[in-house]
Amino acid sequence: MSKKATDCIRVYADTTHIEQCQRRLVQVEPALQSLASLLALAGNEVRLKILFLLAQEQQLCVCDIADVLQMTVSAVSQHLRKLKDGGVLHAHKVGQTVFYALSQPHLPVLQPLLMGLTATPSLQSTL
């Protein structure tokens, strides 16, 4: 019977260290779940573009986003709804126009990721 390359062979299991790691995971579980949800929403290319635009412009209406992305208002609205439902965006109305902006709780995570895109010509070229 052959050994798999993924098998782990250890002489001693540091149970104290393992338990410390498990406790840390339990402590940050809500934050990890929140981050996973945020990254799942941002994992769609169109939504990522919307997040990038909003990070750059602070706020935009659905019509402006649709024009920039060359998409229908309806298609953009679906993405905005998902981001809003996920708590990533908030909306405010000025007259008949609804403006969208990044939600404050997510800014510390999103801004460094999105701002880094302006300084990186292509992530593909580094892979």
The whole-angstrom separation of Cα 43 and Cα 89 is 15
Tell whether 75 is covered by a domain.
yes
pLDDT value at position 95?
A: 92
120 located within any domain? no
Task: Count other Cβ atoms within 10 Å, centred on residue 75.
Answer: 12
CATH code of 76's domain? 1.10.10.10
Bridge-based pairing of strands 97-102 and 60-61 is: antiparallel
Asked if the structure places residue 51 within a domain, the reply is yes
User: What are the structure tokens assigned to 91, written together?
Assistant: 């909306």
Residue 65, pLDDT score: 96
Domain count, the chain: 1
Taking a C-beta distance cutoff of 8 angstroms, is the pair 105, 88 a contact?
A: no
Give dist(CA 42, CA 83) in Å, integer.
8
The verdict on residue 40 lying in a domain is no
Read off the pLDDT of residues 46-69 as tens digits, 9 standing for 90 and up: 999 999 999 889 999 999 999 999
Do the domain assignments include residue 21? no
Cα separation of 46 and 108, whole Å?
21
Range of the domain at 59: 45-103
Flag whether pLDDT at 120 surpasses 60.
no
Does residue 84 carry a pLDDT above 70? yes
The answer to whether residue 96 sits within a structural domain is yes
- pLDDT, tens only, 94-111: 999 999 999 888 777 887
- Is 99 part of any domain? yes
Rank 32-41, 44-53, 113-122 by mean pLDDT and report only the highest.
Answer: 44-53
User: Which pLDDT tens digit goes with each residue over 66-79?
Assistant: 999 999 999 999 99
CA atoms within 13 A on the CB side of 97: 10
Check: CB of residue 80 under 8 Å from CB of residue 29.
Answer: no
89 in any annotated domain: yes
Is the pLDDT confidence value at 26 over 70?
yes
- The more confidently predicted of residues 20 and 105 is 20
